[in-house]
């Protein structure tokens, strides 16, 4: 800058150059101030928006993860309930089969008693008819 000022031939040219440099510096300062006043808030806003998007994305990921966990838990509970219902149904069927078997066994016992009674009655009749035939 000093070289530039020294190359001027007259004092008037040097003074004009100095004023031009001051004006340029002032214009640069004004432009920087304007940038700071207008651009900085926009940059801050943009940065805040990016942070907000980041945290929203993280929140969505957490919510999705939580929903998936809930769904898995529900599916596990449903499977467990289905398994319990199946076991209960199997137990009912086993009880029914046992009851039916017990009923059949009781019927067989009654039938055997009836057959024994009939055989006893036939044996008694046969023996009484043989003894009456032998006595005559």
Q: Which of 17, 16, 15 is nearest to 4 (CA)?
A: 17
Q: What is the CA radius of gyration of the chain?
A: 56
SS3 content of the chain, % helix, strand, coil (to 5): 95, 0, 5
pLDDT at residue 136 in the model: 56
CA separation for the pair 57, 64 (Å, rounded) = 10
Say what the pTM is: 0.45
Residue 81 has pLDDT above 90, yes or no: yes
Residue with the bigger pLDDT between 31 and 134: it is 31
CA separation for the pair 52, 57 (Å, rounded) = 8
CA separation for the pair 133, 126 (Å, rounded) = 10
CA separation for the pair 75, 5 (Å, rounded) = 85
pLDDT 10s digits, 92-117: 999 999 999 999 999 999 999 999 99
3-state secondary structure 36-100: HHHHHHHHHHHHHHHHHHHHHHHHHHHHHHHHHHHHHHHHHHHHHHHHHHHHHHHHHHHHHHHHH
pLDDT at residue 4 in the model: 54
């Amino acid at each position: 800058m000093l070289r530039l000022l020294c190359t001027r031939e007259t004092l008037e040219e040097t003074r004009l150059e100095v004023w031009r440099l001051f004006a340029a510096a002032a214009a640069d300062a004004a432009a920087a101030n304007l940038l700071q006043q207008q651009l900085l808030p926009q940059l801050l806003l943009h940065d805040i928006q990016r942070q907000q998007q980041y945290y929203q994305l993280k929140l969505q990921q957490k919510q999705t993860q939580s929903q998936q966990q809930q769904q898995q838990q529900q599916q596990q509970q449903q499977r467990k309930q289905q398994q319990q219902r199946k076991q209960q149904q199997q137990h009912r069927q086993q009880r029914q089969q046992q009851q039916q078997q017990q009923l059949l066994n009781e019927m067989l016992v009654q039938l055997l008693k009836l057959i024994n009674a009939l055989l006893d009655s036939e044996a008694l009749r046969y023996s009484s008819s043989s003894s009456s035939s032998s006595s005559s």
